Amino acid sequence: MYCFQHSLIYLNMISLRSFFFKAGFVTAMFLLLVDTKVVSGQKENSWKALPATVEKLSAERPEFNYREDKVPVYSLPDPLISVNGSRVTDADFWREVRRPEILELMRSNIFGRVPETQYELSFKVVHTDKKAIDGSATLKQVDVIIYASGKSLTIHLTIFTPNSVNGPAPLFLLIDNRGPANTDPTRKVKSEFWPVEEAIARGYGMAVFNYADVDPDNFDEFRNGIHSLLDITPRPSDAWGSIAAWAWGASRCLDYLLTDKNVAGDKVAVVGHSRGGKTALWAGAEDTRFAMVVSNESGCGGAALARRRFGETVGRINTAFPHWFCSNYKQFSNKEDSLPVDMHMLLALIAPRALYIDCAEDDLWGDPRGSYLSLLNAVPVFGLLGKKSAIPEYMPPLNKQLVSGNVAFHIRDGAHNMLLKDWNFFMDFADIVLK
Ligand code: GTR
C-alpha cells in the first residue's frame, strides 16, 4: 500500500516537473524546493548529463532531443491500476490479473506474440573440455536444435562452468548481439564484453549464444531464422518481431541449461547489451524461469520510458529497425502518449525477481535518466510482491552502484558498451541475490 502511494506521488511529480520546466523561472524555483524536500542530500552528487555531450549530440542529430528541459509533459500509466480501473493491492491480484494484462498489452502492441506452432527440441553436446581456462572451468558446446515445418534450426550454445564450485553454479546467459570474436570459446583473445575468466574466478558459469542463430538481424519480411519454421500462417499485426524471437531463443537455451547438472537452473541470469538488453528484458518478462535479468544500455524499446522522447524515439526505432517489433508498434511512432503501457511496466514484469539496469554516461541516445525513471516507477510492484526497494528519486553518482531489494542500477563513465566494470557490478549484485 505504501509503495502504491509512493508510485502515485512520483508519477505526479514527473508530469509536474516537465510542466514546470516549460513554465518559467518562478515555478522552477518552487519545484526545486519540492525536489530538495523529497530527496534530501541526493541531488548534489546525482548524475547529470555533461553539457558538452548534450551539445555534441544535439549538433550531430538536431532532430532528436537530448535536453532535459525539452522533455515533453507526460504521465505514465500506473502498473498497479488494472484496465478496468481496479487498484492492485495484493500479490494474488497482480499475478492473476494485472501481470497477464500487462504482458498481453506488451505482446499485442510492442514485441509481438510467439505463434502456437508445435516444434520439437533436442540437445546435442558437440564438444566438452573439462580442463578449460587453465583447468578452472568445464567448457561445453551444445547444439540446441529446433524442428518444425520439415526444417531445423540450430542455436550454438557455449557454456563454461567453474570447476571450483561443488555442485551446480549460478550462471549468466548472454544474448550476444556482437560478433563471435567476443565469445570465442578458445579465448585466445579476451573480451570484456563476455569476461568468462573473471566470472569463473568468482564462481559463476557463463553461457552465450549468438542472436543471429535464432533470427538474422535484418529486415527480410521474416522469411529467415526461426520465423521460417514457426510462422506457418500469414503474420497478424501482432506477430512476433526479431526481439521476441531472440528472447524465445534465450528460453530454448534455458531449456537445455535446466538439464545440465553443472548449472543451478533456478539461478540463471539472462544478460543483454543494447538491442540484446531489450531482448533480455522481454525474455525475463515472457519466461519467469529466469531468476535475474541484466539489461545493459537497452534504451528505446528497452528500459527507457518511451513517453520522454529523449534520444532515440519510437518513430525512429520503427523506421530504422522495422523487424524488431510487431507491426502494431508502428501505430505509436510519434504517438507515444497513446501507448497503453510504458517501459516501467516491462520492468515490473520481472518483479519480484532480480533486475539490473545500467547505462553509460555518453550514451544519451539510450536515455539513461529515462531508464532510471522507468526502474523507479517499477519498484512499487517489487514492493507489492515482497521485495521492497527504496531507490531515491535522483540518479546515483557516476560509477556508483545502487542496490535496493531485488533491483540494482549504475551509470558508468564512457561510451555505449558492456565492459568488465559493468560485469563486476552485475556479479556484485548476483553475489547478494543469486548466491
Ligand atoms: C542502435 C539502436 C539502439 C540500440 C543499438 C544497439 O542503432 O538505435 O536502439 O539497440 O543500436 O543495439 O547497438
Q: Counting atoms of ligand 1 from 1, which one is nearest the CA of 316?
A: 8
Residue 248's nearest CA partner among 116, 341, 344, 427 is 116
Mean pLDDT (whole number) for 193-212 = 98
273: phi then psi, degrees, rounded to nearest 5? -110, 130
Provide the sign of the torsion angle of the four alpha carbons 283, 285, 288, 293, taken in this order. positive
What confidence score (pLDDT) does residue 383 get? Answer: 98
How large is the average pLDDT for residues 36-60? 78
Look at residue 10 in the predicted model and tell me its pLDDT. Answer: 35
Sole residue written with cell 539496469: 357
Q: Is 416 a catalytic residue?
A: yes
pLDDT of 431 over the 80 cut: yes
Q: 12 exposed, middle or buried (CB, 10 Å; 0-12, 13-18, 19+)?
A: exposed
pLDDT bin (cut points 50, 70, 90) of residue 181 is: confident
* pTM for this model (two decimals): 0.91
If one residue of 316, 321, 323 were mutated to test the ligand 1 pocket, choosing by the most ligand atoms within 8 A of its CB, it would be 321
> What pLDDT shows up at residue 105?
98
Give the model's pLDDT for residue 11. 34
Closest approach atom of ligand 1 to CA 299: 9
Nearest CA owner, ligand 1 atom 10: 275
CA-atom Rg of the chain in angstroms? 21
Query: Where is 134: in which H helix or E strand?
Result: helix 132-135
Pairing of strands 263-273, 292-296: parallel
Alpha carbons 12 and 72: distance in angstroms, whole number: 14
Atom number of ligand 1 nearest to Cα 278: 10
How confident is residue 71, by pLDDT bands cut at 50, 70 and 90? very high
Taking the CA of residue 312 as reference, the ligand 1 atom at the shortest distance is 8
pLDDT digits (tens, 9 = 90+) for 382-423: 999 999 999 999 999 999 999 999 999 999 999 999 999 999
- With 80 as the cut, is the pLDDT of residue 256 above it? yes
For ligand 1, mutation pick of 318, 365, 418 (most atoms within 8 Å of CB): 365
- Could you tell me how many helices (H) and strands (E) the chain has, helices first? 15, 10
Report the C-alpha gap between 76 and 159 in whole angstroms: 40
Distance between CA 162 and CA 430 in Å, rounded?
16
CA distance 206 to 6: 38
Residue among 240, 262, 210, 230 nearest 121 (CA): 230
Contact 301, 278 (CB under 8 A): yes
* Model pLDDT for residues 299-357, shown as the tens digit of each residue: 999 999 999 999 999 999 999 999 999 999 999 999 999 999 999 999 999 999 999 99
What grid cell was written down for 264? 543451478
Q: What pLDDT, on a 0 to 100 scale, did the predictor assign at position 43?
A: 72
C-alpha 349 to ligand 1 mean position (Å): 23
Contact (CB, 8 A) for 14 and 373:
yes
Please give the single-letter amino acid code of residue 136.
S
How much of the chain exceeds pLDDT 70, in percent? 90
The confidence score (pLDDT) of residue 188 equals 78
4-42 per-position pLDDT tens digit:
223 333 333 344 344 333 443 333 333 333 232 233 344
**Joined grid coordinates for residue 311:** 534520444
Calpha distance 142→79 (Å, rounded): 39
Mean pLDDT for the chain? Answer: 91
Q: How far apart are CA 347 and CA 285, in angstroms?
A: 8
Identify the residue whose C-alpha is closest to ligand 1 atom 12: 275
Residue 367 CA to ligand 1 centre (angstroms): 12
Whether cis (ω within 30° of 0) applies to the bond prior to 352 is: yes
The residue type at 147: Y
Q: Which of 274, 371, 374, 389 is catalytic?
A: 274
Nearest CA among 302, 385, 402 for reference residue 351 = 385
Kindly state the cell numbers that stand for 26. 518562478
pLDDT of residue 278: 99
